[in-house]
Every structure is written in structure tokens, then in C-alpha cells.
Amino acid sequence: MSEATPAFELWRAGILTFEAAGTYDNPFLDVEIWAAFTAPSGRVIRREAYWDGGNVWRVSFAPTETGVWTYALEAPEATGLDGCTGVLEAVPYEGELAIYQHGFLKVSADGRYFEHADGTPFFWLGDTHWEASWGERWDESNHPGMQSQFRGMVDKRVAQGYTVYQTNLRSDMGPGVNHFWVEGEHPGENGERDLPNVAFYQNELDRRMAYIADAGLVNALGQAWCFAINREGGIEHQKHLARYILARYGALPMVWTLAGETAGYDLTPEVHQRHVDRWREVALEIERRDGYGTLQTAHYTNERPFPDYYQNESWFDFTLNQAGHGDYLITAEDYADFFAKHPGKPFVEGEAMYELCSTLEEMGTRLCTADLLRRVAYMSIQLGGAGFTYGAQGIWDNVWEKVKEMNPFFAIFNRFNVTWVEAVDAPGATQMGYMRRFYEDVHFWELAPVTVGDGGNLFANKAPLATATADRARIVAYYGDTARRSLKIDGIDDAAVYRARWFDPREGTYAEGEEVRAQEGTLTLPAKPNLGDWLVVLERV
């Protein structure tokens, strides 16, 4: 290859830069430039160029196979770029990050879990950072072990084993803090004057998006909170934002989550449906413009039964649920009913029992502990989930220091005055890393539930929840803190013998158990070794 041919690592975004001729009143809206990349295999990936100030347009592209790619630009004739061609060489990725070793995410063939492009299973373990795009501080920290609030939290979660950063642009914030558009262009218009605030992207958001990607995390990104779609021109503004974000960051390891609590909580059915319908238009715009088939979902509202307003739509690739923070009971039946009604798409419990949150229970609030969040995390996965998103009070709401008088809304969730400094070191975050390693160790992708919901009977919750391989050679059971009943599993070979290992989800350690023998085709699970929650792994010998 010529020395002038740029080399792009496999699955890692590189940038091509072009300068257009002419001048434009609104370079974002007046000019649309696309690059069509053709792989050695003949596959074509189309990526839109993003305006980066002046007469500069850039294309972000991540190759999906090695070898020589060609590209051709499609642009208005006045730009002088239409028909321009070039080549680049895609070379193997030499690093150790799984997302670049194995490729972007897709849904498994059976629809139960996620995997990389090359078929390697992917366990979703997320961390919630609703203000990661600009609220969390880049050059400042009041944590004694971190020089940067933003970078310190990313580094810590990576070390703990997280695979996903669940974030939101929070473009719903009002004038004065809405960084995404040039001041005076965005508010009050129907989108015809939207002009990206390029300085904000160049100086702030670019480095944050790159830091998350370079850490090997998938960024599960939403654009705003639900109510933004109701403002004048809200649909067009959000479509324009989706277009620009896709062009600028769509070649990074991403998942699109649309909007926070997409349908909102207005009790009027008409308003609820209006949110659903309007955000759907944005989702379809994302689907139309995304060149990689990036997974897309919506951050659901907290309801019972679990919501399903987008469930059967083609753009909607998996469920990102919200079981809440104690405002509803969270039972096995909730999950079992949903999985029975909506098979065929992965399910992630995306927001439940944030650690150190003030719970919203009718009988009175309490501090949400690691014990409470572990129950929801393991229960959701044992009943068919493909992963879990952790969250911590003080991080999702970005509390820098303790306050004397709280905002009444935030006080509901933070009655214990928790800061991000306390939250980032909470024990449950480490324990979620243990959970991911445990499920990878037992090959979670081979397991399916062998127990059903509790039918509303709270005493049924005293029994463990079990999953197993199709041939019952491996069985995994979770015993909640109050579990005191046994569980019988049928369909076992007569007199089959299993070796038992106990897993402590608090410490992430194993201990050998006694052998367990089936009788007349039925295996009775052993009693847990002690108080607290435990897991047992039974391997047929």
C-alpha cells in the first residue's frame, strides 16, 4: 500500500477530513454529505459526514473486516466533494479490549442474549451516569483517590469488570445549559435554525465519548428525558440531534437508548401515547441513518406490569426495563410474566434499586443496600435476563458535596445525603463485577430458566431460582436472603450425580459443596450453607 493510504484498526473509529467549497447559511442543514465504504467482501457501509466548523467536514468510520476498503463521497455539487474517492487499509486490532477484538454488539440467533460480531457472548453489566456528557467534571475531583471525577469513575468501573456505560445527553435541559446548539438558534424554532455548537463537541463531548470507547466500554446513550419531545419543535430538534450524534459518534461502540423514561408518567392516556409516538419518529430516524445496524432500545418507564409499548417493533432490538426503587414490589412473577409474553429479544434490567438510594416503599423509606440490589440483579438474570445495569445514588444525580437544603424532587431519592464520592466506593458496585465473572464462568449463554414465577405468592419467594443447560448437565440456582425452601428439578437422568460449588456473591469466592444425587428423575437442590444470599453451581459428573 502507498504511504498515503491511511490505516484504520479493525472495529476502531478513524477520521477522514474533507474541506468543502462555498459558503452556507447553515452548514448543518444546508449540506448533507455521505461516504459509502466498500469492504473487500463487497459489503457497503454508509456513514454521514459531520460538520466540524468552517468548511470542514469529517467522516468517522470503523472497518468491520481487514483489507483494503474504497470509499466514495455523495455531496451537493457546490461543495466540490461529490464523487471524490479514496482508499484505506483496515489492519488487525493489536490491543486487549474485547469490544475491538470481537466486534460490535448484536443479538444472538436465539434472541436471548448479546454477542459480539464474531459470535463471542457478551454479558451486559452497566453503570448509570445520566450526567456523563457534561455534568461530571473532567479536570476536578474531590475524591482523594481520583484526579478527575469523570475519568476516575470510568477507570474504576472498568477495573471492576463493567462492560457498558449507560448515559444520557440530557439535551432536555433549559436555556443556559443546553450546550448542543448555538445559543439563540435552537429554542422556540421548529428545527429550521438548528446549528450544532461545534466548540462544545470539540472541547468537551468528544473527549468524553472517546474516553469511554478507549476504555473498552459500550456507551448506551440516550438523547434526553421524555418531556423534551413535547417542546415546540421537539421532534425535529431530537431528529437533528440524532443525525449529528450518529454522524459524529456512530462508529464508536454504541447502543442507542432513545430517551429516559420514554413514555413519561402523565396519567392521561393521550399524553402517554403522544410521548410514545413522537419518540418513535426519532427512533426510526436513527434506524434510517445508522450504518452499522447498531442495537437500539428505549429506557422504559417504571410500571406494573412491565411496559411493552415498543416491544414488537422492528427497530426495537432489546428491552431496557425499569423495575424501580421500591415504589413497586419486585417479584419473580414480574419477570416471568414478561418473558412469557415477549420471548425472542434480550432483556436487561436497566434501573432498579440504585445502591444508597432512598427507597420509595409505602411502608417508609430506607437506604438501599447492596443486599437489596443483588436480589433484583440475580433474580432478573436467573429468570431470563441478559444483563443488569447498576446505579448508585450520588452518581446518577451527580451530587458533588452534601447539601443543607435539598431540591424537593431529589430529596425523595437522596434523603441520606449521599455524594458521588461515597457512591463510587459502595460495595455493591464491586459485587456486580463478581456477578458478571460468575455468569461468564458458568457460560450464561447456555443456561435457560427451569423455574417459573411465584404466582403472586410471597412465600414462594422462599425457594431458589434455577437455570440449567438444555441437557441438565449444569444447573445454577440463586438463593435469596430469605430462601428457606428447597426446589425439585425434574427431567434428570436417574441416579445422576452432581458436584456442587457454592458461590458467595458478597465476596466473589467459591467453596466446594457435597455431591448431590438425583432420585427417580428428580434432583432436589441442597440447602444453602448459611444466612444471606448464595448461588450453587451443580455440574454432572
Residue 169 in contact with residue 225, Cβ under 8 Å?
no
Residue 511 in contact with residue 501, Cβ under 8 Å?
yes
Rounded-to-integer distance, Cα 280 and Cα 296, Å? 11
Closest CA to 62 of 291, 374, 327, 309: 291
53 Rama sector, left if φ>0, alpha if ψ -120 to 50, beta otherwise: left
Terminal CA-to-CA distance of the chain, rounded, Å?
55
Backbone angles phi, psi at 335, to 5 degrees: -75, -45
- Set of cell numbers at residue 289: 441513518
CB atoms within 10 A of CB 41: 9
pLDDT band, residue 456 (cuts 50/70/90): very low
- The per-residue pLDDT for 410 is 72
Q: Could you report the per-residue pLDDT of 294-345, keeping only the tens digit for each?
A: 999 999 999 999 999 999 999 999 999 999 999 999 999 999 999 999 999 9
Mean predicted confidence (pLDDT) in 185-204: 81
Residue 198: pLDDT above 70? Answer: yes
Please report which helix (H) or strand (E) contains residue 157, including its range.
Answer: helix 149-160
Contacts for 216 with CB less than 8 Å, ≥ 6 apart: 97, 98, 99, 100, 158, 163, 253
Q: Could you report the per-residue pLDDT of 401-450, keeping only the tens digit for each?
A: 998 887 777 789 999 999 999 999 999 999 999 999 999 999 999 999 99
Strand partners, 128: 166
Q: Provide, rounded to the nearest whole percent, the portion of the chain with pLDDT above 90.
A: 87
Q: Could you report the per-residue pLDDT of 35-46, keeping only the tens digit for each?
A: 999 999 999 999
E-strand ranges in 159-286 read 164-168, 218-225, 254-260
Rounded-to-integer distance, Cα 193 and Cα 187, Å? 9
Rounded-to-integer distance, Cα 119 and Cα 105, Å? 9
Q: How does DSSP assign 340-374, residue by residue?
A: HHSTTS-EEE-SB--BT-B---TT---BPPHHHHH
List the alpha helices (DSSP H) in 38-122: 98-102
Length of the chain (residues): 541
Closest CA to 150 of 161, 162, 165, 164: 165
CB atoms within 10 A of CB 438: 21
pLDDT band, residue 193 (cuts 50/70/90): confident
